[in-house]
């Protein structure tokens, strides 16, 4: 079975470190990672990486995707430039295609109203409250949350963010997913043996 690609949003000031665990292990599992920019013009990350998007946001359709990943970026809080990505997330969720948002992207989704009726998390509750959104009662003080096809996480939880993504797409499950998290989050050497066996059994 051919897997639909995973679409990774890229834009100026994107936080490079927030999606690497997820995209690396999705790619190892056979997913093609396609970068999506505001246009096809290059963007520059917070870390100074110059990224040439594979395609522009307007060209992305939920039916052609397994997942849309929205990393954090300074622009989420300093302008309306990234609002089209939040609107695209609405389109994905309405079509039943999942979305994963971390750090500032959670605020963008809050402004779009996408967190009003879903359990979610972010950096801290008052960060999202400042957007004026209506979902404060659904905020969870957790490393990452999945609800209604939407994954959210705060900026210090890229490994938990990846765990939710890998679990949602079935890359790892159960004790193997737990072992992956323990290895990369907790540096638990015992978890490596579980992952090695799972890889050998595939």
Could you tell me which of 79, 157, 90 has the C-alpha nearest to residue 121? 157
Q: Please answer whether residues 171 and 25 qualify as being in contact, where contact means their C-beta atoms are separated by less than 8 angstroms.
A: yes
What's the CA gap between 139 and 5, in Å, rounded? 30
Active site residue 65: no
Q: Which of 68, 99, 103, 150 is catalytic?
A: 103
Structure tokens at 55: 């395609």
β pairing state of 50-51 and 43-44: antiparallel
Q: Which DSSP state fits 40?
A: S
Which residues are annotated as catalytic? 103
């Amino acid at each position: 079975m051919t897997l639909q690609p995973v679409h990774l949003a890229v834009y100026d000031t994107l936080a490079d470190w927030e999606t690497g665990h997820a995209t690396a292990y999705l790619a190892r599992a056979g997913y093609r990672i396609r970068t999506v920019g505001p246009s096809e013009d290059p963007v520059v990350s917070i870390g100074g990486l110059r990224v040439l998007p594979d395609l522009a946001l307007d060209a992305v359709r939920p039916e052609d995707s397994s997942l849309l990943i929205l990393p954090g970026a300074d622009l989420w809080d300093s302008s309306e430039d990234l609002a089209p990505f939040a609107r695209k997330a609405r389109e994905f969720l309405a079509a039943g295609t999942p979305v994963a948002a971390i750090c500032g992207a959670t605020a963008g989704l809050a402004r779009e109203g996408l967190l009003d009726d879903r359990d979610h998390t972010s950096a801290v509750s008052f960060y999202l409250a400042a957007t004026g959104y209506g979902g404060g009662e659904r905020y969870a003080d957790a490393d990452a949350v999945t609800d209604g096809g939407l994954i959210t996480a705060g900026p210090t939880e890229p490994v938990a963010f990846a765990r939710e993504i890998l679990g949602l797409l079935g890359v790892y499950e159960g004790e193997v997913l737990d072992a992956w998290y323990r290895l990369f989050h907790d540096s638990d050497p015992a978890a490596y043996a579980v992952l090695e066996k799972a890889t050998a059994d595939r």
